[in-house]
Amino acid sequence: MLKRVVVTGIGVVTPVGNSLEEFWRNLTGGVSGVGPITRFDTEGYSSKIAAEVKNFNPTDFIDRKEARRMDRFTHYAVAATTMAVENAALDMTKINRERAGVILGSGVGGLETLEDQHRVLMERGPGRVSPLFIPMMISNMGAGRVAINFGLRGCNVTTTSACASSSNAVGDAFRLIQRGQADVMITGGTEAPVTPLAVAGFCSMKALSTRNDNPAGASRPFDAGRDGFIIGEGAVILILEEMEHALARGANILAEITGYGASCDAYHITAPDPEGAGAALSMRLALEDAGLAPQDADYINAHGTSTPLGDKLETLAIKEVFGEHAARLAVSSTKSMTGHLLGAAGGLEAAVCVLAIDRGEIPPTINLDTPDPECDLDYVPNVARRADVKVALTNSFGFGGHNATLVFERFVRERN
């Protein structure tokens, strides 16, 4: 029999807050985390804005010497995990650490280290490249460092599926516990892509918003004036536990994860399927996995990146799956405030679903001033909404055609 899996803790390092309360207060308050890029000179860049993490000091969580041996994406992962473990009141000395593991998503890993060391190679030669270059740069090191810090000897994996990475990570962690192979999993995503090369690459693709004179208004999912996404950074970690394990230690259960669907568009390296078929399949599979009908859903945290094509096709896919119920669903994109955390976006948005269920409030889609006629669902425009959310879904879609959907439900001890 499949085990039930619950969420007992969340930790965040994000553009809108580095504590759970600050994060939720800003999201429900409609506060944008977007501003001018401060990490490098943006002269010559078409997009000069990003959703950067602010007021973060890695040595609040990591020994100073060890912090120097980590890329920024690993700093974020370790810090967010430390906060998630504390939020879950999880005593690592009292669990079976052979049955506790880590699955994190990251799309690009230690890109900042890669760029820095390439500069060293070009300017000073191969003998000056750091011996720590490889272990700082490789994308699995966020998960590896988290396991080392907490002594977790169970499954340790990093998923890389572009912007679906951490939704796949959460889904895979869910499956491990569901099948009885783990009691506790640390999961979510981490990303630090606000670097000269990454931003230049997205600028060359014309994927980023160029609303440089109005950073806070630049990410505007589903709005007729949207012109591209805002690159973001950070980490969000969830603690998943087997239900009986959580109950036995008296954990505060925030929500239950009940469904996971994954699909591929098999269409194009960057463009979504023009019929939204892959996205629709992902949602349909997740609902079936959870044993739910479309009309059971209350809220969808949309992928909603603020790109002209993506938002329209996600709307189309939602209508395809939910039919007449689509008009009654609350759908919002928190990327309007956080920007797009790439491989960490799914972890962040999974946490939003959990909190919407736990706290009875749906964050808004800000900057939705002139609705696109082709985007005609209830996107919770500009103001948060109190709501009785029993079932919430989150969508993540990535370059390469990767799609992932997660389903969370309010926890009820006895299910029918």
Contacts of 379 (CB under 8 A, 6+ apart): 221, 222, 302, 304, 331, 332, 333, 365, 368, 371
How far is 22 from 55, CA to CA, in rounded Å?
12
Residue 44 Rama label (left phi>0; alpha psi -120 to 50; beta): left
Active site residue 163: yes
CA atoms of 163 and 175, how far apart (whole Å)? 20
Q: Which residue in the list 155, 163, 203, 375 is annotated as catalytic?
A: 163
CA pair distance 286, 407, nearest whole angstrom = 6
Helices (H), 12-53: 20-28
Q: In angstroms, rounded to a whole number, what is the distance separating the alpha carbons of residues 306 and 294?
A: 25
Q: Name the residue with tokens 């994308």.
A: 139
- DSSP, res 340: B
**C-alpha–C-alpha distance, residues 92 and 79, integer Å:** 16
Q: CA 285 to CA 263: how far, in whole Å?
A: 9
Helix (H) or strand (E) holding 394: strand 391-398
* Cα 128 to Cα 346: distance, rounded to the nearest angstrom: 37
Half-sphere exposure for 23 (CA within 13 Å, toward CB): 24
Q: Which residues are part of the catalytic machinery?
A: 163
